Structure 1
């Protein structure tokens, strides 16, 4: 979830299976005198090629029914010689029907000329019109491909696709009777559930915006909430040379965007290329979602499934005069610039240029406070879509602070947004300064920038290089690092170097003649291994070599009842029990990475075979939904919250093993035989959030498909230990899931600290891992995945299962995992492992 919204579970961001709404065939079209020629066919080929080549990366844009894969692409036709009238808003009028029939025949003829692809074409529909440079007609084309014919993909090369998409379709042919000319055709992959043909308009509304606010709400708002299985659309139209301003005053849907969501398009076509944003969850009343269109129309769609009902939304909209110019020359000594309509979401298709020019003897400082230009499918650092360019350096994604110093009196700033997916943008400030006296009356940062003296030593990195937080007089609830930085006392002794010089961890060890218990308590050294439990947790007797046999929760208990005075004795390759039980119950060669030769939020892409126990669980046609870990050839371990309600049907799930990239054709795919959720799982607290999955057929254990070791109940994963979280979940809070497996290194956090920062919400079946400073964490879609920890013997053990968290990678909000050691006996009971 974004914008500070609370999020407990890390469920997927994908569309749920819905009933098909595109089953009707169009009426027989009237034969037109002249049909579109070769170039229109090329446009259709471009769309179809795009449709085919996005088969694996856009699985949630398709549907499967009766053994067929449904593909829809939609777009618009530009008719410059036609005029828009109100009659074209009603599909029952003669004007609507006659023009639709003629355009549908043109599209049908083009699609039937696609050689080998034509046999998969079903129909096309024209479903709406709007004013433009003449008339805009919106259409969809439907294809159905039998599952056994999917191998046709190999007939198209990547070069052919790129070449077709580069071409702009410009067709100039006229209908003899109406003298209508089509000058442009766009096409884009479209989610079948978003298309509403005229006959299905059971929840369809069209409004003409005014200069003052108008309001609309979702069905059942402020009553029982919107119904299940609903598909509603609101068409918003503005006058020529105006744009639509839309603001959601209340917003409350399911927090899993696969269940219920609102999608806004910068067009009356619900095509992927025209999406402004897709939102779900509950937004606080103090943070309204506000959006702008780039033209005179906007489409709002609400979809719901069969889950519980939610309140829905209320929204205001109005029209505003379209911005003709964006950017200007700035000559004042200081000023600001921002994305159009900031803090409202900036519109698509914008280009702005600001040129800062000051006196020749001056230089320029530029400070951007929070950039929000996230776009699904775009990795941080790859600024090829929406971006901010400051003097030749591009920025995009999500940044809390950017400071740039220009060593000359002139700077050029550019902003670009493409045709889809917008965000809040940014506001930037600039100030000219004299290099001889750079910060009159202000604090000079180490980076050369100036901030108000009030920002000095306030605990926030206002300079961007921490120079404003060094050599400070710390508050009572803060710890003074040796380098002068102030940090919360809560962060002390968590085995994480928060100060940067490790001074927050220096005073945490016991004196030389003392023993440190696992819970942090210090005892005299001669009390360790003396046959008595002097530490409250018994850890002073856990690792002893004097033959004393004391059993604590940290000792491995052998089958004959004796205990091993050795840390983490199980599955380490050494026989420590006389009866050999410490090695007997280990899955053969668990916890090794045979494919590795040498060598998430804030994460990086994993190498092939680096995490061979990682599994991607796919629900129905939705693609990746949750993660899991292989613990034997026929058993997986995941989180209970992934399988609640309708998700509890094992026949609807597939488990993909040995896969780094979603859509990998070499992955091992297995069906589920049975899902075992812990009988004490609590949906409110996420206690006992663990599930075991029995497969219908076992995996072939190969280098890229290999089990992780299960820890014994006595296994210790100490505070500060580095472990790894992996998954295909969102790469930032509120973002879309990753197509490649991500990995991130995290630290085990002290249980006491974990309880404090979560306000007592953790139980003994949970553990915290991450960083209290934020930035690295699991996120939505990582649920059920592993927290993998490597022991000194080189084997990897499953310490935790991704369970819940407050947002993703927030400060003082670490990730919460199900603690496997506390659930080990239940695992043994179910699986016999």
Structure 2
């Protein structure tokens, strides 16, 4: 229609359905709305899953590594993380790492970022940490991909960022160490100074313990072509390396392949931990979770790189691994060639051999000594390697991780016709004194000195032909190796042997009844059931007795009132013990309950044992008065606790006056029966790493015949000789009471016990009186088995040492001390 006027309005139609525009049906609109809502919900759900659920299923994974750059030279500015040179090169390294990881489709989605922590020489080595977010179920697979991909040596390739990269190495990082590396509040850079010793310590040392959750790191550097010597002069951390530890890496990155040592616990001053680097860098990491320990003090200095090996001409001499007896350096090869006189052959005797961080089952592929084409590693007793000529070559190799103490050896010239003049020749080539052959002891590492022997009258003939001392028969230990020394005294099959020697049916053992008459059939039962109390059963504080043998301080609550585990802060040795022992000198802190009792003006006179912070145990005979001197007067005595060297008390040694001396009222000076005494200090002693109490055994405690124990003291080194300056230790064996009585007829009482060797040679002596006989028992705690009392001379054949049996006098100790 045309020609209508503007502003003309149409009136509404009466039937709107006929004139409105045609559109979708109503049900279609509703369906569209519902579908849209479903799609929107699905999209929201996917987003929520992606940003929450999927993210929650991922874990942070850190990798530490190195990148070797060959087209750059190291400059001093690279040591400073705030220098423009450091920042610029770090940026290029990060770009290179990003390109590297993004180029691996399997892990590219998980890469987050990288951080460069340091640079060092060679030409330039970058140290970095890379962060990934990895699904939990793919952690091992991603670890494998990153490790295998990066650790393959690469050809030098020019990167877009102008870096020629020879290699990229990466391994999963220990989160605790990585945290220390990224913790700027306790991160230190130190560069050695020629001719000077630099010192650093754990936080708070020496004034107060380090805090829990301490994470620190020290980057140590030396000048070019120098190496670092690092020594921990004081070291005292928590004994569990899962909590607190120090690691030293031969790198500025905490690569597991560069880990030299991981240490925890406490080490005495004479066992300083000394580490050498292979190049001019070391990384020290300290993690303290438990806290409340002193920490450490360390010293570093730079040295020229050591050389080792060479050709040596002569008929004998000594040599050792570099830095022995401290830890040898990583990545070192030493080759010695020894030449002796014409017509003689040469042999090498390894006196100490500790390459213990390696696994000898793998064929000595890490650290090893190679002689005559054969490799040796692990920890070995003295052994000898011989040649069939006048020359022998010894090669020592260490890889780039885990170092140990190494070896001490000597080379010797010998005539082929008589390899051991006037001595016995072991099959291994070692020479021993003729008197050691067929003496019942294995002196040759291969046991060849005890083969084909004719037993002496005082020896027992084992079924395998070996000869053993008769007093070892029926002592409960398999000394022959075929148990023939024990079979002759055993009960019949199906029977149990009581302590009294009586045999009872096996079925009656641990049945809750005293069938032996002495309770011995009810004292070694695993279930620790409640039984009738006898002299051989352990009585709990609540008065109930249990059937378990020696339950005190074994880490298991056997008593219902838990009294068997209530007084167990004893018998521990905080210092870790070295395996390198020269002679019988004790180590500092090895026997922290050992006391030296000095008569004022006369020096060391007797030993004693710490049993609490105010009480010592000693022997009564040390305090018997003489016409011209009152040994019973406490004013005449001084107690030195924590002493090692009589001429040089240590910083932790404590000097204490004696307040009271209590000798046993039944002590008999003629027979030495009841030879025990108690000393009360005037002031309590504060325990430390070299002063600790020894555990006191319960009256029911059984120290089995045949088990080893240790006697310690500063007594005479030989009968009639002078006393020792350094604390001595000797390993002895507890001797069966029946055998002991046969050796010392009519001289022993039930308050005495024997320990030593029937062959003599090892024993306590004058000046050891009153000292401890220590036995390693439950839960690796030391218990006071005996007190050094008397003997027929010192170390005489068939004359073992006699000790006061502490278990028989345990109640007397409790009564006099008020419960100790």
- Category of TM-score, reference length = shorter chain: 0.5 to 0.7
TM-aligned CA distance change 1:772 to 1:429, over 3 Å: farther
Secondary structure in structure 1 of the residue aligned to 2:270: coil
Deviations 1:527-558 (A, max 9, x none): x99xx967333578x9xxxxxxxxx9989999
Deviations 1:381-416 (A, max 9, x none): 541211222212222111122222333333332222
Partner of 1:203: 186
Aligned-residue offset at 1:201: 1.5
In the alignment, which of 323, 327, 347 is matched to residue 341 of structure 1? 323
Take 1:398 and 1:557, find their aligned partners in 2: how far apart are those partners? 39
Take 1:110 and 1:553, find their aligned partners in 2: how far apart are those partners? 65
Matched, 1:537 2:526: no
Q: How many residues align?
A: 508
Matched, 1:805 2:780: yes
Take 1:642 and 1:135, find their aligned partners in 2: how far apart are those partners? 57
Matched, 1:236 2:220: yes
The answer on whether the counterparts of 1:516 and 1:522 sit within 8 Å (CA) in structure 2 is: no
Take 1:161 and 1:684, find their aligned partners in 2: how far apart are those partners? 50
Take 1:459 and 1:283, find their aligned partners in 2: how far apart are those partners? 36
Aligned-residue offset at 1:102: 1.7
Partner of 1:142: 131
TM-aligned CA distance change 1:408 to 1:230, over 3 Å: same
The answer on whether the counterparts of 2:343 and 2:390 sit within 8 Å (CA) in structure 1 is: yes
Matches within 5 A, 1:488-527: 493-500=474-481, 502=483, 504-505=485-486, 508-509=489-490, 518-523=497-502
Partner of 1:581: none
Aligned-residue offset at 1:171: 2.5
Partner of 1:388: 369
Matched, 1:363 2:353: no
Aligned-residue offset at 1:351: 1.8
Secondary structure in structure 1 of the residue aligned to 2:319: strand
Matches within 5 A, 1:97-116: 97-116=87-106
Secondary structure in structure 2 of the residue aligned to 1:97: helix
Matches within 5 A, 1:410-809: 410-451=391-432, 461-467=442-448, 493-500=474-481, 502=483, 504-505=485-486, 508-509=489-490, 518-523=497-502, 535-537=516-518, 682=565, 685=568, 804-805=779-780
Q: Which one scores higher on RCO, CA 8 angstroms, separation ≥ 6?
A: 1
Aligned-residue offset at 1:277: 0.7
In the alignment, which of 87, 103, 108 is matched to residue 118 of structure 1? 108
Take 1:185 and 1:140, find their aligned partners in 2: how far apart are those partners? 12
Aligned-residue offset at 1:301: 0.7
Partner of 1:406: 387
Matched, 1:190 2:173: yes
Partner of 2:41: none
The answer on whether the counterparts of 2:476 and 2:704 sit within 8 Å (CA) in structure 1 is: no
TM-aligned CA distance change 1:462 to 1:190, over 3 Å: farther
Partner of 1:255: 239
Take 2:122 and 2:366, find their aligned partners in 1: how far apart are those partners? 26
Aligned-residue offset at 1:220: 1.6
Aligned-residue offset at 1:525: 9.1
Secondary structure in structure 2 of the residue aligned to 1:116: coil
The answer on whether the counterparts of 2:381 and 2:445 sit within 8 Å (CA) in structure 1 is: no
Partner of 1:319: 302
Take 2:567 and 2:158, find their aligned partners in 1: how far apart are those partners? 63
In the alignment, which of 61, 73, 85 is matched to residue 95 of structure 1? 85
Secondary structure in structure 1 of the residue aligned to 2:165: coil
Secondary structure in structure 2 of the residue aligned to 1:105: helix
In the alignment, which of 85, 110, 122 is matched to residue 133 of structure 1? 122
Take 2:182 and 2:478, find their aligned partners in 1: how far apart are those partners? 63
Flag structure 2 segments of 5+ consecutive residues without an equivalent.
1-53, 532-552, 571-692, 710-776, 783-820
Larger radius of gyration: 2
Deviations 1:202-249 (A, max 9, x none): 112222223343222111222221111011111211111111111111
Take 1:147 and 1:493, find their aligned partners in 2: how far apart are those partners? 59
The answer on whether the counterparts of 1:517 and 1:535 sit within 8 Å (CA) in structure 2 is: no
**TM-score relative to the length of structure 1:** 0.53
The answer on whether the counterparts of 1:479 and 1:504 sit within 8 Å (CA) in structure 2 is: no
Take 1:495 and 1:212, find their aligned partners in 2: how far apart are those partners? 59
Deviations 1:52-83 (A, max 9, x none): xxxxxxxxxxxx99543333222222234434
Deviations 1:469-508 (A, max 9, x none): 788999xxx987767766696x653433213464643674
TM-aligned CA distance change 1:297 to 1:435, over 3 Å: same
Take 1:334 and 1:557, find their aligned partners in 2: how far apart are those partners? 60
Take 2:281 and 2:409, find their aligned partners in 1: how far apart are those partners? 30
TM-aligned CA distance change 1:74 to 1:381, over 3 Å: closer
Secondary structure in structure 1 of the residue aligned to 2:394: strand
Comparing 435-444 with 760-769, which one deviates more in the overlay?
A: 760-769
Matched, 1:274 2:253: no
Aligned-residue offset at 1:314: 1.2
**TM-score relative to the length of structure 2:** 0.53
The answer on whether the counterparts of 2:555 and 2:779 sit within 8 Å (CA) in structure 1 is: no
TM-aligned CA distance change 1:771 to 1:195, over 3 Å: farther
Secondary structure in structure 2 of the residue aligned to 1:522: coil
TM-aligned CA distance change 1:66 to 1:418, over 3 Å: farther
Aligned-residue offset at 1:259: 0.4
Take 2:297 and 2:441, find their aligned partners in 1: how far apart are those partners? 36
Partner of 1:293: 277
Secondary structure in structure 1 of the residue aligned to 2:97: helix
The answer on whether the counterparts of 1:74 and 1:190 sit within 8 Å (CA) in structure 2 is: yes
The answer on whether the counterparts of 1:247 and 1:288 sit within 8 Å (CA) in structure 2 is: yes
Secondary structure in structure 2 of the residue aligned to 1:88: helix
Aligned-residue offset at 1:185: 2.5
Secondary structure in structure 2 of the residue aligned to 1:413: strand
Take 1:152 and 1:174, find their aligned partners in 2: how far apart are those partners? 28
TM-aligned CA distance change 1:503 to 1:364, over 3 Å: farther
Aligned-residue offset at 1:460: 7.0
The answer on whether the counterparts of 2:499 and 2:518 sit within 8 Å (CA) in structure 1 is: no
Flag structure 1 segments of 5+ consecutive residues without an equivalent.
1-63, 543-551, 562-638, 644-675, 688-757, 775-801, 808-833
TM-aligned CA distance change 1:553 to 1:72, over 3 Å: closer
The answer on whether the counterparts of 2:68 and 2:168 sit within 8 Å (CA) in structure 1 is: yes
Take 1:444 and 1:367, find their aligned partners in 2: how far apart are those partners? 13
Partner of 2:67: 77
Secondary structure in structure 1 of the residue aligned to 2:164: coil
Matched, 1:173 2:56: no
TM-aligned CA distance change 1:142 to 1:760, over 3 Å: same
Partner of 1:648: none
Take 1:458 and 1:201, find their aligned partners in 2: how far apart are those partners? 64
